[in-house]
Structures are given as structure tokens and as C-alpha cells.
Amino acid sequence: MHWRRNLIFALITLGLIAVIALGFRQPPSLVDLATVHTGPLQVTVQEEGKTRVIDRYVISAPVAGYTPRITQRVGDSVQRGETIVQLEPLRPTALDARSRATAEARVAAAQAAQQAAGEQARATAAEATQAEAEYQRLLELSKQNLISPNDVERARARTAAAAATERSSRFAVEVSRHEVEAARTALHYAGGETVSGARVAVTTPVAGRVLKLFQQSEGVVNAGQPLLEVGDPQRLEVAIEALSSNAVRIHPGMRVLFERWGGTPLEGRVRLIEPVGFTKISALGVEEQRVLVIADIAAPPQQWQTLGDGYRVDARFILWEGDSVLQVPASALFRRNDGWAVFIAEDGEARLRSVTPGQRSGLAVQILDGLKEGERVIIHPDETVGDGVRIAER
């Protein structure tokens, strides 16, 4: 009986010691965990931009005269050759005879510009034909797996750019033809031989929509004074004011997504990075060096018919992307000596693990070495977390 009492007393003593030890034991640190997974990852740069009509034309008064009230309004459609307004002779005199020499010089200059535009149009047409042939050749080579798809994509982008340049050059030919007509009109009415009451028809050289009215009410206008601006809102480009530190990472042909414009994201391609920067004051009053990046909308026109000239969009440049990338949240990584490390959760304890990061987006980091898919890492580790410390998920 004596030994039984001693055994019971010993067991009670050990239980009390265990309870006291557990009471003084450090409680587990509460942490947030994330799973290492494989998925798509994009490295992007986001900037603000505005849409603008690619080909726009300011219609000016060919001669000094008196204009009646212009009936067109912003947004109205105009056709090529449509009369915008009929300029009346100045009151009480018509055009000055001394303008004849100037008018003859304007005709000669306009004809020379028309010839130059025609030559440029032929050159761009040849370049477009060559780009299309090169694209078709590379497309055949790609089908035989002789070249990479990136080469085909770059050829397709060059073909699209050459076609756009050809369209713009044809537009320039039409504009130069209109300039010749305007110069000849000025010459016809110069010299004081104007018939009383004769009018000068101001026409539009291209089809499109009215973008801006410079002169709406009737009144006297001088030669060369802008009356209205026309363009085709279905041919838009996006001008993005990018930080110069971001612009050096952008190159022609790069993918860009246009977001937060009021519809679904639109696919686009960078066409030009202007070589000259400018200073702009941010909303916080900080001077920033920015560069204008011009991008084309590659999405079908029916997806962005509601966009117009001067609309705001957010441009997200795709600097790098991958479909199956091993990644973790960026908040899980921290500096350790000259490298990077994470804490992983293993059997209820935190274990320090050195890792090799790769590409970084805003919220995720590519892991090249040190982790496996399915492992769980601690995000936002604080000073209570260390190697071997007991943890519990919050």
C-alpha cells in the first residue's frame, strides 16, 4: 500500500510540473500563410493615356472674306468635297490685287507639295507590298517550324505599320490636292477682278466627322484662319505619357492593354516611343520626366466604337509574361545577407529557406529555385517569426 501512495504522489507531482511547464511555454505565433503555386504571371507597367484621331485636318479660309454662320456642329459627319461654307467678298472691297504674286507662289508651292506627297505615297505603297510579302514568306517558314512565332508576330506588326503608313500617305495626297485647289481659288479671286457678290466655296478634302469648331458665328476671316477641324474617329491611336524610367523598358511591337475606359480591356501594340522627353508636374507637385509613347488599338473596331478623340484610358504595358510560372506573394520574401529568403510552414514550425527569385510583378514573384509547388509560405513575417518558432495559421 505504501508504494501505491508513493506512485500516486509521484504522478500528481509530474502532472503539476507538466501543467506549470505548459503555462510558461511560449504560445505559437499567429501567421498568414500562402501556397506556392504555378500559374500565369505578367510583369507590367501602367500609365495613363488619351486617345486621339490619327489623321486630322484643319480646314482654313483660302482667302480673306466674310463668312456666314457655319451650320455644322461637333460630331456631324462630312463627306469628301462637301461645301462647309461659302465665303463672301470683303465689304466693301474684294480681295486685294497685290495678293496676286503671293497667290501664284502659293499655287506653285501647293503643286510641289502635291507632287512630293504623291512620291511619298508610291514609296509607302512599295514598302507595304514588301512588308506583306515578307510576312507571307515568314508565315510559310513558321508552318515548317523553321523560325519562331515571335519572328512571324514582328513581321505581322511591321505589315500593319506599313499599311497604316500607306493609308496616311494617301490621306496626305488628298490633303495636298485640296491645298492646290485652295491656292488656285485664291489666285482666281486675286487681282481685283472679282465679280460683285461672287463667293468662294470652302470644301472638306476628306470624309470624316467634325472634331472642333474654330469659327461658328458669321464674320470677317483672314486668309489661312482656321474654321473647323475634321477627322475620322474610327482611326484612333493612344498617346501615353510614360515616366522616362519606364519608357526605356518599352519597345515598338510590345503588347499593351487599354483598361478603365468604360468597356472590356482592349489589345494594342506600341508603335513609337518618342525620343524627346518633357517635364510634367504630378498631382503631388513633383517634377517628372515623361516620354510620349504612341500605341495602336489592335482590337476589332466594333469593340471600341464608343471611344472618341481625347478619351482617357489606362495603358498596361506587358514587359514579360509566362503561362506556367512557379510563384509566391511578394510579401513572403525578405532580404537575408546578400540573397532572399522565405519562411515555410513545416509541422507547425517556421523553417527558414533561401530562394532565388526571378521576374516580379506588383503582387507576385517568380521562384527559380528553393521552393516546390504546394509548399506553404508565411506572408508578412514579423519579428516574432524565426527559424524553428512554433506557428499557427491566423
Residue spans of alpha helices (H) in the chain: 2-24, 99-143, 149-188, 244-247
Residue 238: its pLDDT value, please?
94
String of DSSP letters for 38-71 = EEEEEEEEEEEEEEEESSEEEEE-SS-EEE----
**How far is 281 from 86, CA to CA, in rounded Å?**
45
Going by C-alpha positions, the residue among 236, 217, 205, 207 that lies closest to residue 60 is 205
Residues 91-108 pLDDT 10s:
644 445 555 677 777 777
* Residue 149 three-state SS: helix
Cell numbers at 233, concatenated: 474617329
| CA–CA gap between residue 172 and residue 54 (Å, rounded) | 12
Cβ 34 vs Cβ 185: under 8 Å: no
Q: Where are the beta strands (DSSP E) in 337-387?
A: 339-346, 349-360, 364-369, 376-379
- Residue owning grid cell 511619298: 120
Cell of 36: 506556392
- The CA-based angle 138-142-146, given to 5 degrees, is 100
Give me the pLDDT at residue 145, please. Answer: 72
- Given this model, what pLDDT does residue 269 score? 93
Residue 302 pLDDT: 87
Please enumerate in sequence order all residues whose Cβ is within 8 A of that of 244, keeping only pairs 6 or more positions apart, or say none. Answer: 277, 289, 290, 291
Q: What share of the chain is helix, strand, coil (3-state, %, to 5)?
A: 30, 40, 30
Q: Is the dihedral of CA 17, 21, 24, 28 positive or negative?
A: negative
pLDDT for the residue numbered 6: 64
**Whole-number average pLDDT of the chain:** 81
Residue 230: strand, helix, or coil: strand
Q: Which residues of the chain register pLDDT less than 70? A: 1-26, 91-100, 146, 152, 186-197
Beta pairing partners, 297? 268
pLDDT of residue 270: 94
pLDDT of residue 192: 47
Residue at 186: amino acid letter: A
pLDDT number for residue 2? 59
Which pLDDT score, from 0 to 100, does residue 24 have? 52
Strand pairing partners for 287? 281
Element (H, E) at 290: strand 287-297
DSSP 8-state code for residue 88: B
d(CA 89, CA 230): 25
Q: Residue 13 is placed in which grid cell?
A: 507531482
* Distance between start and end Cα atoms, the chain: 51
